[in-house]
Structure 1
Amino acid sequence: MTKLSSVLLTTSVLALGQSVFAHENHDHGVTDKDITVTTLAEGLEHPWGMAFLPNGDLLVTERAGGIQRLSKDGKLSGRLANVPAVVANNQGGMLDIAIDPDFSSNNTVYFCYSKESEVEGKKGSSSSVAKATLTATGLDNVEVIFSADSIVDNGFHFGCRLVFDADKQLYVTMGDRYEYMQEAQNTNNHFGKIVRINRDGSVPTDNPFTDGDAPEVFSYGHRNVQGVTVHPQTGDVWAMEHGPKGGDEINIIRAGANYGWPVITYGIDYSGEIISDKTHMDGMEQPWVYWDPSIAPSGITFYNGDMFKEWKGDILVGSLKFTHLRRIEVEDGKPGEQFEYVRDNQARIRDVEVAPDGAIYLLTDAPNGKVLRLSK
């Protein structure tokens, strides 16, 4: 166990067109000095996504292609049997995982991964979602219920985060696959979209583009969504995506809404070239908050536990670039101050979840990746 020194945010953040800075005043009395960091597991190969089971065990994906089960007493199962093959190329592989809202009665899990695909002679990989029955040692009844039509022969911008809403509908995030960013504005395909499907993969009848060629699409104009969660009170879906160089953002997702990429953006290309000189346009949503410079956020959740009761209602995100857990105060539905924790860990934070007991769990993105538990 280690206790890490507190580091406060020093970069500027812009939200709803206003500059917001972190100040060294009220962090609700909790700093890194008050947080105990316990390594529960290590030796995971680029762990990427996690989901708690009702009994407190944790399912953890490994980007290289595995899914493991971490018991409450800290024992890893080894890779589960009958996990389908993935295209483990750069950012692709076995990515996010979620449990069925009725898991206690059906033992069903869902996972998103980069799957080898071919359409009309075009070969590559696509973000795909499968469902399966979880057994003591592996998966049974594996069934692919959705495959994106964004088939590209590269290893970039898969999206692949999963979340269920209160109506038990599944939201799946799709990246623009890097080479096809303009297609994020085309609602007839899956590039740069968030899709909504039923648990069997069918399309909800009230999806906004059911008359088009991609009826699963729920929102569009996204770049590479690396976090998605549901607000515990309102039920709204919130998503967090990577910008290019600058312009990472959090959005509240609405049916049929256009989030602007790449027509409007607060970022520039990695080369320094201008992608767009516009940050606002009629008919396109503004982010709830954005970062410039980028923090490369990954994983997002609202804190709704009791262990860190001072943080209830705040947003927790992981930062890959700056290797910390970040908390964003939510004040009357708007972004407030931001704080950084566990930066001394010096590890890329890939995902963040809140355990049933209110502890905060982090995944570190590394060849020898870890599961960390934050408690006090």
Structure 2
Amino acid sequence: MKQAFAHWLRQLESRIVDRQDSTSALVLVEATLPILLLMFLLQWLGIRDESVRALYRPSLLNFSLWAQGAFIAWLMLMGVIAWHRRRDTEAMPVLVQLTAVPAMLGVVLLSLAHGLKDTPMSMVLLAQFVFARALFSLYQLRWAFSLSLLAVLVVEVCMFQGWLPYAPMLSAPVYMGGDLHPWWALWVRVVFSSATLPLSGILFFLAATLASHRRALETLVRTDMLTGLANRREFMTRLERESHRQARSSRPLSVVLFDVDHFKRVNDTWGHPVGDEVLTKVGEILRSSTREQVDTAARYGGEEFVLLLPETDLSGAQHVAEKISARLREHAFVANGQTFTVTQSVGIAQVVEGDTGWALKVADRNLYQAKRDGRDRIVASVAFAEGLTHA
């Protein structure tokens, strides 16, 4: 049961986020029909009692039931059409309008007929508007909103001029300033609960959905899409933070730069998709070879990667780099039925007095020294301000 509910929530979230016309129309029908059926059944059952029947205007009683029945039947028809077309991804403006306009305008008219000012119908109307806005764009709802607003204005003007009574479907308003009629006391509780509980649920659900997608967007901004590592911007942010920490504590901190050797040759020989596979594998090795929530592995640019290793001195950083290089060297890539291997050159620098900017430059110089020395090797030094000391 719990899994089924979670699955339904995920489906609802995807329909709200994706805003596919057919599924959005289907969800709007699913959200509207329960309250409409409840209102219809309450009135149909209530008027079987003579004292309750007297609460409604005789001239509109049967008409309102027939109108509500036709309204429900129409939305069911739209729901069936939307269900059959739920896998179609193309725009369906006609289906949207034939669903949204009746769904919203019908609830508005039903609310006006019962009275908006002293009944929970205002909550029903608000819930309907929130559901509709979550599922459709404002442009798609322009006719539904415009006609609904026009209906409210026309009724208000007619009531102000005395041409139409307040709550025209009722013989007297629900609330007359004293105790509610027993039927209205029950009716108000049922309608209020049926409106506020779903409305509260959808508001909390929308807030949770927004928070989830905000976190996903924040992760997207910080992450390299190909490798899943931090991107250069995120690395520089963490580098600055660690520089302040290292300057205060004088604890060891190292920076490691990796560059895949002859990467252009890989792309030229095997193609860019294989090159991407190589970069993805490097990212996987870096991620699995470092400490989660402590170290930072990032794609620095192109085929260049970087590690930020807090609480790690030069020898510790060399050990990590050797392990990573060995794993990459031993991995066999397959392309067009042939295998090949790749290596990487590494430059390492240990930070001194929080000067991570200088350490990064030293690591970069060591990296190019490793390339000049023949590639597939590691050059490391402490980033003293006066020069380089190779280990």
Q: TM-score range by the shorter chain?
A: under 0.3
> So what's the TM-score if we normalise by structure 1?
0.20
Higher Rg: 2
Higher RCO (CA-CA < 8 Å; seq separation 6+): 1
Q: Kindly indicate which of the two structures has a greater share of residues assigned to strand.
A: 1
> So what's the TM-score if we normalise by structure 2?
0.19
Q: Kindly indicate which of the two structures has a greater share of residues assigned to helix.
A: 2
